[in-house]
């Protein structure tokens, strides 16, 4: 395996050292192959919102698996799953299940291009939407971490069809739509960015994307693969009362198994085969075991869970901010719901340019200091940490103490 891993950030390239190999996980804790126990803030990069190996999710998975792992045919459970999502996301009138966030965004782009009969798409610098060719242009997450804004192997002719703008820059958005609005098939955005660290949108930014798309006949796509069902049952759009044309979901909705969806306005989704001319398919799409994990997870996510997540995350943010103040190190904590990032940056971060100016050497030492003290934090400055409903008050208190000690190491 290249660098010994199956996804780049896992190799710890941005922080150095050897990544722990994980043997098992339960609740808020993961245990490595050497028996070391960590409080986990990676949460499988988002899915583990109710904690690892939740008994009800495990029961649902075992039950589904015993009835057959995959049929390649329609099931009742995928209909129930779709209904659960449609009830939570008013923007989704029709949807299709796929197996990863990458497939969801890639397919949404294809549908938007087919629907509009236009080729150009717009994305924002530092937003990561998976590794489809058109979207690996000025992407965040591992791509940004490793300084590879454009991946080798992406044809220049294709990348030219992806126009990029700074996140949170309303003027740049307006200028682009004024000059080229009639060429644009879609604008895709992380409504709260997590892939250059946690960066919430400025007031009016997302509404402007939806409005400008509507005026010019382009399709607005909210990539809620990370934020969906995390910032609330209806994701970022639900929290903010916004209705984009299309939405992508992943991570949480599969409860830790490979499952994602793309969906949106009925007239747009009717373009998808076999109803319409846009082809998209998958052998394991809507896989019954993944769908069972998704239904069980969505069922667990009631108001109490979101209230608990909010309390825990607020306490963590506050504790980290106090530690930063005590140690007197230039750093800020940015949070949206239960996702947060500690940026080694003297000022608030609103876009990729500023996120990239954060002190990554300090972050690497902070990360190592946390790991030593039993806290598994995302191994890159440009990622968000995730709190789960399984974290205990004691986990959070221990994390704050560990962070203060790690910050002292960094400052010394
Ligand atoms: N979109 C966003 C916002 C993501 O955070 C990710 C993954 N981190 C993806 C898309 C891609 O999802 P996957 O890794 O499941 O392909």
Catalytic residue among 38, 89, 223, 376: 223
Query: For the sheet containing 22-26, what is the strand order?
Result: 22-26, 29-32, 37-40, 375-376
**Per-chain mean pLDDT for the chain:** 96
Burial of 105 (0-12, 13-18, 19+ CB in 10 A): buried
Q: Which of 269, 300, 331 is the last residue of a domain?
A: 300
Same domain, 401 and 259: no
Whether 42 is in the pocket of ligand 1, judged by its Cβ within 6 Å, is no
Return the ligand 1 atom nearest residue 251 CA: 15
Range of the domain at 292: 56-300
For residue 165, the SS3 value is strand
Under the banding of pLDDT at 50, 70 and 90, the label for residue 228 is: very high
CA 360 to chain CA mean position, Å = 21
Same domain, 362 and 237: no
- The predicted pLDDT at position 147 comes to 39
pLDDT one-digit tens code per residue, 104-148: 999 999 999 999 999 999 999 999 999 999 998 877 666 545 434
Ligand 1 site-directed mutation target among 47, 104, 129, most atoms within 8 Å of CB: 129
Return the ligand 1 atom nearest residue 101 CA: 12
Give the number of domains in the chain.
2
Same domain, 237 and 124: yes
Could you give the C-alpha distances from 177 to 171, 183, 200, 365, in angstroms and in order? 10, 9, 22, 43
Whether 236 is in the pocket of ligand 1, judged by its Cβ within 6 Å, is no
pLDDT one-digit tens code per residue, 233-245: 999 999 999 999 9
Whether 99 is in the pocket of ligand 1, judged by its Cβ within 6 Å, is no
pTM for the structure as a whole: 0.97
What CATH number does residue 161 fall under?
3.40.640.10
Question: In DSSP terms, which residues pair with 39 in a beta bridge?
Answer: 29, 375
Q: Which of 265, 300, 335 is the last residue of a domain?
A: 300
- The predicted pLDDT at position 155 comes to 87
What CATH number does residue 373 fall under?
3.90.1150.10
- The predicted pLDDT at position 141 comes to 64
Does position 81 have pLDDT exceeding 60, yes or no? yes
For residue 226, the SS3 value is coil
Same domain, 315 and 242: no
Same domain, 113 and 241: yes
Q: Which two tokens stand for residue 218?
A: 């382009």
Same domain, 19 and 38: yes
Whether 141 is in the pocket of ligand 1, judged by its Cβ within 6 Å, is yes
Mean pLDDT value across residues 338-351: 98
Whether 380 is in the pocket of ligand 1, judged by its Cβ within 6 Å, is no
Summarize the chain as % helix, strand, coil (round to 5).
Answer: 45, 15, 40
Same domain, 287 and 374: no
Q: How far apart are CA 313 and CA 400, in angstroms?
A: 12
pLDDT one-digit tens code per residue, 150-202: 688 988 888 889 999 999 999 999 999 999 999 999 999 999 999 999 999 99
251 carries an active-site annotation: yes
| Closest to 376 measured CA to CA, from 129, 3, 15 | 15
Beta strands of 324-377 (E only): which ranges? 332-336, 339-343, 375-376
Find the helix or strand (DSSP H, E) in which 186 lies. strand 184-189
Same domain, 289 and 366: no
Q: Which of 284, 300, 316 is the last residue of a domain?
A: 300
Same domain, 267 and 339: no
Same domain, 270 and 394: no
Same domain, 262 and 327: no
pLDDT one-digit tens code per residue, 351-369: 999 999 999 999 999 999 9
Same domain, 79 and 124: yes
Q: How far apart are CA 82 and CA 96, in angstroms?
A: 8
For residue 356, the SS3 value is helix
Catalytic residue among 41, 89, 115, 128: 128
């Amino acid at each position: 395996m290249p660098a010994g891993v199956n996804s780049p950030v896992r190799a710890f390239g941005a922080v150095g050292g050897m990544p722990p190999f994980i043997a098992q996980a339960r609740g808020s804790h993961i245990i490595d192959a050497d028996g070391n126990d960590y409080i986990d803030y990676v949460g499988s990069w988002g899915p583990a919102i109710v904690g690892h190996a939740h008994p009800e999710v495990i029961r649902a998975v075992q039950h589904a698996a015993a009835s057959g792992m995959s049929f390649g045919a329609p099931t009742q459970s995928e209909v129930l799953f779709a209904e659960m999502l449609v009830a939570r996301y008013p923007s989704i009138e029709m949807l299709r299940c796929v197996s990863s966030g990458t497939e969801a965004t890639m397919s949404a782009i294809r549908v938007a291009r087919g629907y509009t009969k236009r080729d150009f798409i717009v994305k924002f610098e530092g937003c990561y939407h998976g590794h489809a060719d058109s979207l690996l242009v000025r992407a965040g997450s591992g791509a940004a971490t490793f300084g590879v804004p454009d991946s080798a192997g992406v044809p220049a002719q294709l990348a030219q069809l992806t126009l990029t703008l700074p996140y949170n820059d309303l003027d740049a958005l307006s200028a682009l739509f004024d000059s080229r609005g009639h060429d644009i098939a879609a604008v895709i955005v992380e409504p709260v960015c997590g892939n250059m660290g946690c960066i919430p949108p400025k007031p009016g930014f997302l509404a402007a994307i939806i409005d400008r798309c509507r005026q010019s006949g382009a399709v607005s796509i909210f990539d809620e693969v990370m934020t969906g069902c995390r910032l609330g049952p209806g994701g970022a759009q639900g929290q903010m009362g916004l209705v984009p044309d299309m939405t992508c979901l992943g991570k949480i909705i599969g409860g830790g198994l490979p499952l994602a969806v793309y969906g949106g306005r009925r007239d747009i989704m009717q373009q998808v085969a076999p109803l319409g001319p846009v082809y998209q398919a998958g052998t394991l799409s809507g896989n019954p075991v993944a769908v069972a994990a998704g239904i069980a997870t969505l069922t667990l996510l009631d108001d109490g869970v979101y209230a608990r997540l909010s309390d825990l995350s607020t306490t963590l943010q506050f504790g980290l901010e106090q530690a930063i103040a005590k140690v007197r190190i230039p750093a800020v904590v940015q949070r949206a719901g239960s996702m947060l990032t500690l940026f080694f940056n003297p000022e608030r971060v609103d876009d990729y340019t500023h996120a990239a100016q954060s002190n990554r050497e300090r972050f690497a030492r902070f990360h190592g200091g946390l790991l030593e003290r039993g806290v598994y934090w995302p191994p890159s400055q440009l990622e968000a940490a995730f709190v789960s409903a399984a974290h205990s008050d004691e986990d959070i208190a221990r994390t704050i103490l560990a962070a203060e000690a790690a910050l002292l190491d960094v400052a010394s």
